[in-house]
């Protein structure tokens, strides 16, 4: 079977061997006679998968002692609300506004309490990011929130701010597990699974244990990080299927040599694609500040929207799908998450060169 190369921003590519493994085991999970998605989440068969998925996240990201890994439903969007509900505790929180996703996080936090927007990229159309050395938390801030990679704008932090005693919180939905990370710099990290980890349905939250004390007893049980942590993410029925898939995806990351090895591949693929844009003598152009170009979501423009539509249509016809930019910004976007291969990227760059030759 020949599959298209899938550049979709999310849900996005899952390694084919993971899809095949899920298909093989879907009806009869490893000789148990039943599917993993139809047995108790409190039984030993699922429990092993659940514990292994947590252990792999800890191992691959080097999560230090004193942090909990939680699996929560509701996507990263749910975290936009859960985070302020749990951690604000009446104090204002700092947010860096780097694009569409940061803006959504800010809007939800404002419903819960006071927000200081410490840097705002809206005037420059979110085409750049702040120098991290200039980012300083306000005194008395409950936490300091960043979006490590803006999936729509295609900008990505290359290093992270030092926020001292104020916990740094990051939405890493679109670049978790794509590069090595010093988790000890963060109070909390959250990420919807459907880019680098699994199909949609589970969100990973990595939280420093002392912050769990901030979750008020008055919060609804599901909304409380403390409740999820105490129950090891088995307070209620967890999203069994994406957690199972995530375990398989993470085993693949480990087999490749871990996050550092994956990061090297990601950087090479991003360099190939940005190279094709930069070397096109202006036929393609990347609007993003060079210093903050994302290794995950590469955005570019052609000279007019008509030509962009033609590009996307012809690319799709030759098996290169998901290249349309987000409806809010237009243009083209290739999402090259962990599951992308250099072969897939080279198929795109060859097509780009050919398209430019024909239409330039
Ligand atoms: C950076 C970022 N944050 C948050 C979200 C929202 O995630 P979800 O759809 O899982 O709620 C997305 C979705 O693409 C995203 O890319």
12, 103, 104, 192, best to mutate for ligand 1 pocket (most atoms within 8 Å of CB):
192
Do residues 221 and 111 share a domain? yes
- Which positions ≥6 away from 331 have C-beta within 8 Å? 287, 299, 300, 301, 302, 308, 325
Q: What's the rounded Cα separation, in Å, for the pair 101 and 234?
A: 28
Do residues 221 and 126 share a domain? yes
Do residues 243 and 263 share a domain? no
- Is 292 domain-assigned? yes
Residues contacting ligand 1 via CB (< 6 Å): 10, 75-77, 101, 147, 151, 171, 173-174, 192
- CA 10 – ligand 1 centroid, Å: 8
Domain that holds residue 320: 258-359
> Which residue CA neighbors atom 7 of ligand 1 most closely?
76
CATH number, domain of 275, equals: 3.90.1150.10
CATH number, domain of 145, equals: 3.40.640.10
- Which positions ≥6 away from 307 have C-beta within 8 Å? 359
pLDDT at position 2 is: 85
Query: Which 3 state secondary structure label does DSSP give 126?
Result: coil
From 255, 279, 308, the end of a domain falls on: 255
Model pLDDT for residues 114-131, shown as the tens digit of each residue: 999 999 999 989 999 999
Pairing between strand 155-156 and 149-150?
A: antiparallel
Number of domains the chain is built from: 2
Which residues are annotated as catalytic? 101, 171, 195
* Nearest atom of ligand 1 to the alpha carbon of 79: 11
Do residues 229 and 276 share a domain? no
Do residues 148 and 264 share a domain? no
Model pLDDT for residues 184-208, shown as the tens digit of each residue: 999 999 999 999 999 999 999 999 9
Residue 1 predicted with pLDDT over 80 = no
From 240, 255, 270, the end of a domain falls on: 255
Model pLDDT for residues 237-275, shown as the tens digit of each residue: 999 999 999 999 999 999 999 999 999 999 999 999 999
Do residues 231 and 94 share a domain? yes
- Is 4 domain-assigned? no
- Is 190 domain-assigned? yes
């Amino acid at each position: 079977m020949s599959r298209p190369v899938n550049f979709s921003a999310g849900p996005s590519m899952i390694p084919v061997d993971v899809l095949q493994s899920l298909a093989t085991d879907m009806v009869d999970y490893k000789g148990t006679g039943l599917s993993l998605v139809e047995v108790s989440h409190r039984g030993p068969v699922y429990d092993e998968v659940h514990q292994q998925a947590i252990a792999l996240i800890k191992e691959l990201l080097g999560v230090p002692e004193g942090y909990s890994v939680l699996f929560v439903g509701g996507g990263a969007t749910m975290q936009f609300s859960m985070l302020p509900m749990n951690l604000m505790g009446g104090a204002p929180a700092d947010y860096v506004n780097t694009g569409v996703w940061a803006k959504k996080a800010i809007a939800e936090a404002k419903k819960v309490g006071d927000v200081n927007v410490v840097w705002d990229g809206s005037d420059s159309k979110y085409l750049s990011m702040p120098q991290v050395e200039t980012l300083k938390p306000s005194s008395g801030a409950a936490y300091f929130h960043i979006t490590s990679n803006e999936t729509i704008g295609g900008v990505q932090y290359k290093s992270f701010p030092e926020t001292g005693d104020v916990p740094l919180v990051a939405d890493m939905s679109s670049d978790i597990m794509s590069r090595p990370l010093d988790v000890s710099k963060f109070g909390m990290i959250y990420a919807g699974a459907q880019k680098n980890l699994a199909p949609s349905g589970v969100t990973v939250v990595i939280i420093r244990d002392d912050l769990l004390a901030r979750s008020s007893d008055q919060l609804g049980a599901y909304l409380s990080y403390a409740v999820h942590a105490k129950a090891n993410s088995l307070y209620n029925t967890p999203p069994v299927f994406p957690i199972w898939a995530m375990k398989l995806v993470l085993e693949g990351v480990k087999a490749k040599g871990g996050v550092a090895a994956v990061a090297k591949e990601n950087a090479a693929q991003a360099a190939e694609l940005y190279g094709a844009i930069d070397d096109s003598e202006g036929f393609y152009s990347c609007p993003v500040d060079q210093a903050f170009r994302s290794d995950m979501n590469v955005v570019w423009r052609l000279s007019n929207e008509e030509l962009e539509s033609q590009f996307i249509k012809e690319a799709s016809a030759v098996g290169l799908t998901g290249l349309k930019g987000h409806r809010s910004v237009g243009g083209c976007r290739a999402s090259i998450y962990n599951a992308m291969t250099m072969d897939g990227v080279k198929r795109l760059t060859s097509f780009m060169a050919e398209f430019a030759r024909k239409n330039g």
